[in-house]
Amino acid sequence: MFDPYADNEASPYVDSKRTVAFRSIQEQVPWSNSSVPDQRSVPNSPMPAPGRIPSPPPTSPVPSRRRSGGLRTGAIIALTLVLLIVFGVGLFAGWQFGRSGSTLNSNVGQLQPGSGGVAIVPPLTGKNQDTVREAVIAKVRPAAVEVNVTLGNGAGIGSGVIIDRRGYIVTSNHVVNGAQSINVVLFDGTKLTAQLVGTDPADDLAIVKINTSKNLAVATLADSSKLQVGQEVLAIGNPLGITQTVTNGIVSALGRTVSEGQGGATIPDAIQTDAPINPGNSGGALVDLQGNLVGIPTLTAIDPEFNTPASGVGFAIPSNRVNFIVPQIIANGSVTHTGRAELGVQITDVGPTLAAQDNLSVDHGALIVSVVSGSAASSAGLQAGDVIVQIGNTAVNDVSSLSDALATKNPGETVAVHIYRGSQQLTINVKLGELQAGG
């Protein structure tokens, strides 16, 4: 049976049907004090749990490479790329906005743009790329901030983006998780105390707020559904604690589903980019050449053979998801509508061994182990022992492909679920539910 709480095994293959280890972008760097354990370290584990970049001593240079002796205490646990992570009983999460833009509940306020001085980005003509990049950087960097946290066992550095003129800043949840205090450094060097407004661990998002009379620069959110593979993007943040750093690359792929592993966030529709994303970029800005925010960097891949960051394989939470979640947190202090479609079953991969053991009619698909009472699956008549082999026109060969088929579905949408029940082949229409916040 698929155990949602089991450690994910890293695979040496970066393949949508295989697993590859991931780590949160924040981790300790060589100047850190390895005698101070991270609050989320896993005892007796060869790979400690996700940590943060510890604040560097003022006079210490920033090393350009990692220590060759492996990961140290407080570094990041290997995280796993999967097409689905089962969170208890509410599974198979698709985004409400899908690929067509965000949809906010009518009682949730909109983000308020800033009125501070904003650089004008000229149209890209093919001959003025340098000028355009410089204008984009001038426009966005004033909205990018450094996020400093104090923990029970030390301190850490991350990134954030001013998202609302009232002083609301979006960052990654793992940047502020467990923080005893939070301070923000603005582009001009101003240091301000920040208050945690709310978090969304399932999406690895958090909102903090600063109070200032300054006319704040505010990032403008793009429609991430309009991104194209090959489009140039810039990443702005504080990699390795080097503040206000800009890197560039392209959109390498769209619609990825990445997971932070056991107990962590699962991010469908993630943006993959080869723009260098390093420890400390978490919570920062991924922007297009119009100077608009298209994503929040949050993960980078790990080469499973050498257990080191894979070059040019980073991931960001799409701006449409940010635009869906952040106003809810600002209005309510928490997420009230997840926008994730829920099937409501627990499943496991079907292979030749399980098929022979359970006398199944097929040797592929996703076996329903249990059905949640009152769930969409229960209402439609799906049963434990059913093997899902197709969703709509998409074949289901395992848990990952089932997730792939459902990741873009919306709550309330009806999908045709093709199953084997014993030797019978059935098609059951399921009206998908919405995953409850915290589910």
What tens-digit pLDDT sequence spans the chain (439 residues)?
433 323 333 332 222 222 233 444 443 332 222 222 233 222 332 222 233 455 443 333 222 222 223 323 233 323 333 322 222 222 333 333 333 344 444 345 688 887 655 788 989 888 899 999 999 999 999 999 999 999 988 889 999 999 999 999 999 999 999 999 999 999 999 999 999 999 999 899 999 999 999 999 999 999 999 999 999 999 999 998 899 999 999 999 998 888 776 667 778 889 999 999 988 999 999 999 999 999 999 988 888 888 887 889 999 999 999 999 999 999 999 998 888 888 999 999 999 999 999 999 999 999 999 999 999 999 999 999 999 999 988 899 988 778 767 766 888 999 999 999 999 999 999 999 888 786 5
Q: Strand pairing of 433-434 and 366-371?
A: unpaired
The pLDDT assigned to 108 comes to 54
Q: Active-site residue 400, yes or no? A: no
The pLDDT assigned to 66 comes to 27
Q: Active-site residue 252, yes or no? A: no
- Distant-in-sequence, close-in-space partners of 106: CB < 8 Å, separation ≥ 6: none
Q: Tokens for 383? A: 């049963």
Give SS3 for 332. Answer: helix
Give the pTM: 0.71
Long-range contacts of 54-62 (CB under 8 A, 24+ apart): 54/28, 54/29, 54/154, 54/155, 54/156, 54/157, 55/148, 55/154, 55/155, 55/156, 55/157, 55/241, 56/29, 56/31, 56/157, 56/241, 57/31, 60/31, 62/29, 62/31, 62/240, 62/241, 62/242
Q: Name the catalytic one among 174, 203, 403, 404.
A: 174
Q: Active-site residue 418, yes or no? A: no
The pLDDT assigned to 104 comes to 41
The pLDDT assigned to 115 comes to 63
CA gap 19, 40 in Å, rounded: 23
**How buried is 46 (Cβ within 10 angstroms: 0-12 exposed, 13-18 middle, 19+ buried)?**
exposed
Location of structure tokens 């005698």: 35
HSE, side-chain direction, 13 A CA sphere, residue 285: 32
Which DSSP helix (H) or strand (E) runs through 297? strand 293-303
CA gap 172, 258 in Å, rounded: 15
Neighbours of 229 (CB within 10 A): 12
**In whole angstroms, what separates CA 417 from the centre of its chain?**
28
Q: Name the catalytic one among 204, 269, 386, 404.
A: 204
Q: Name the catalytic one among 102, 224, 252, 282.
A: 282
**How buried is 174 (Cβ within 10 angstroms: 0-12 exposed, 13-18 middle, 19+ buried)?**
buried
Which DSSP helix (H) or strand (E) runs through 140? helix 129-140
CA gap 381, 100 in Å, rounded: 30
The pLDDT assigned to 130 comes to 93
Q: Which of 116, 295, 330 is nearest to 208 (CA)?
A: 330
The pLDDT assigned to 374 comes to 92
- Distant-in-sequence, close-in-space partners of 246: CB < 8 Å, separation ≥ 6: 137, 141, 234, 235, 236
List the beta bridge partners of residue 193: 183
Q: Which of 300, 223, 247 is nearest to 141 (CA)?
A: 247
The pLDDT assigned to 189 comes to 94
